[in-house]
Amino acid sequence: MQKILDAIQADELDAIGSLPVPEHYRGMTVHADEVGMFEGLASRDKDPRKSLHLDEVATPELGPGEALVAVMASAINYNTVWTSIFEPVSTFKFLERYGRMSPLSKRHDLPYHVVGSDLAGVVLRTGPGVHNWKPGDEVVAHCLNVELEGPDGHNDTMLDTEQRIWGFETNFGGLAEVALVKSNQLMPKPAHLTWEEAASPGLVNSTAYRQLVSQNGAGMKQGDVVLIWGASGGLGSYATQFALNGGAIPVCIVSNQEKAEICRKMGAELIIDRSAEGYKFWKDENTQDPREWQRFGKKIRELTGGEDPDIVFEHPGRETFGASVYVTRKGGTIVTCASTSGYMHQYDNRYLWMNLKRIVGSHFANYRESWEANRLIAKGLIHPTLSKTYALEDTGQAALDVHRNAHQGKVGVLCLAPEEGLGVRDHELRAKHIDAINRFRGV
Ligand SMILES: NC(=O)c1ccc[n+]([C@@H]2O[C@H](COP(=O)([O-])OP(=O)(O)OC[C@H]3O[C@@H](n4cnc5c(N)ncnc54)[C@H](OP(=O)(O)O)[C@@H]3O)[C@@H](O)[C@H]2O)c1
């Protein structure tokens, strides 16, 4: 592994293909024999530091259409929090199911799960049938894993019947020194970013792009008022940028003044601190309070000069969904990709049908959408929102930060990269955008 790292750092990328691939590598895992370790605890008290382990694992055999990548840096996504607390189900169930599909997919069904759905690194080897990528290429990977053997996914690969999220529903993820991906997950690494910056937008950037911008999601247009929950968080920090970059008007919802300040730094002007306003959309576990929806809607109108949101960018789920449906403009769209606070949503359907609103489900992104989202990063039109970077062995703490909502934007992880700040090729483009790139740093 050291020889590979030395070659990358010495910029001898042509040599990578002739260096032996190590038989083992270090990766962050959860263990199948520990899935019951948090039984009886509230979600909040389940500690990823206890369930995530840094193990030496065997390098998987390379199959057709695949690539092995030397991972320089990765990032924490909420799916790693879900895996590490074994909620809502253990991800070993996904690996077992995938393993039943074919002898190749059987490689993924192991008593350990190497997690992580983002990476920036260098291609080590490609399998048979891969022509667009070669050893030594500097890449990032999106996390859509598809088989595409059936007809369903051929208009939109997210609709493939065998669609999975790499590093969550498959093994050999990115929080490791080596990762196994399909070659159609690879995209060029943005040249003006460090390894850890380049690794951080991936999953959330692509997801927010499909959810908000793509015709498969809300199809945002200029002038749209876009209500964004968690506007400085993983998804929200990209949704806010897409809204501003696309000529829309974001209304950013955050939970404290620091986060409000970050939104202002991104260029947003309309911001609501949900903690300061003290919204209580639920009177008790089963009853919502429509007066609180109204109070929220009034506040939005105060900021927008009387307009309601054309689009609500939803992911908190149960706690906010009733309010989201209520405040959306007549004919507007609630686009949802998650249910962090609970997936059994409740809303008053009268406001939906009488006002011709639409609820659109959105999940990750297809290769084309991921490519377009990555292109915006590479051109310096959208910027990484990296706030902090941890060493690979401290991934548990990094995941705890995200679990506790104690982070800003994205939390990075150094894998093979020995320190932050490496991997930049286009210094001119970097200099042009350096303030925007560092906006979330140390907040
Ligand atoms: N389907 C997909 O493809 C996909 C992709 C990415 C993520 N997700 C899911 O989307 C969710 C968010 O991911 P993320 O990366 O953006 O996480 P994140 O970085 O933790 O950001 C989420 C933000 O939402 C806000 N929030 C959390 N709970 C809330 C609540 N009860 N009410 C109102 N706001 C709340 C918080 O912001 P404030 O405290 O500032 O309000 C938080 O920072 C997760 O459940 C994740 O699994 C799904």
How much is the pLDDT for 392?
98
Mean pLDDT, rounded, for 252-263: 96
Residue with tokens 């690969």: 157
pLDDT digits (tens, 9 = 90+) for 278-320: 999 999 999 999 999 999 999 999 999 999 999 999 999 999 9
Ligand 1 centroid distance, CA of 207 (Å): 12
How much is the pLDDT for 98?
98
Between CA 410 and CA 282 the distance in angstroms is 29
pLDDT digits (tens, 9 = 90+) for 314-344: 999 999 999 999 999 999 999 999 999 999 9
Which sequence spans correspond to the domains of the chain?
1-205+365-438, 218-361
Q: What is the mean pLDDT of the chain?
A: 97
Ligand 1 centroid distance, CA of 126 (Å): 35
Ligand 1, atom 47: nearest CA belongs to which residue?
A: 78
Burial pattern 89-121, b for ≥16 Cβ within 10 A else e, equals ebbbebbeebbeeeebbebbbbebbbbbbbbbb
Same fold, 1-205+365-438 and 218-361: no
pTM of the predicted model as reported, rounded to 2 decimal places: 0.96
Ligand 1 centroid distance, CA of 124 (Å): 34
Ligand 1, atom 24: nearest CA belongs to which residue?
A: 230
CATH T-level topology, domain 218-361:
Rossmann fold (3.40.50)
Q: Which atom of ligand 1 is nearest to the CA of 165?
A: 3
Ligand 1 centroid distance, CA of 13 (Å): 38
How much is the pLDDT for 307?
98
Ligand 1 site residues (CB inside 6 A) read: 77-79, 203-204, 207, 229-230, 232-236, 253-255, 259, 274, 315-316, 319-320, 337-338, 340-341, 363-364, 402, 405
Between CA 298 and CA 312 the distance in angstroms is 15
In 127-234 the beta strands, taken as DSSP E runs, fall at: 138-141, 144-145, 164-165, 178-182, 186-188, 225-228
Could you tell me which of 401, 384, 390, 397 has the C-alpha nearest to residue 440? 384
Architecture of domain 1-205+365-438: Alpha-Beta Complex (3.90)
Place 442 in a pLDDT band, splitting at 50, 70 and 90. Answer: confident
pLDDT digits (tens, 9 = 90+) for 86-117: 999 999 999 999 999 999 999 999 999 999 99
Mean pLDDT, rounded, for 132-140: 98
Ligand 1 centroid distance, CA of 316 (Å): 6
pLDDT digits (tens, 9 = 90+) for 392-430: 999 999 999 999 999 989 999 999 999 999 999 999 999
pLDDT digits (tens, 9 = 90+) for 40-84: 999 999 999 999 999 999 999 999 999 999 999 999 999 999 999
What DSSP string runs through 260-323? Answer: HHHHHHHT--EEEEHHHHT---EEETTEE-HHHHHHHHHHHHHHHTSPPPSEEEE-S-HHHHHH
Burial pattern 325-339, b for ≥16 Cβ within 10 A else e, equals bbbbbeebbbbbbbb
Ligand 1 centroid distance, CA of 236 (Å): 8
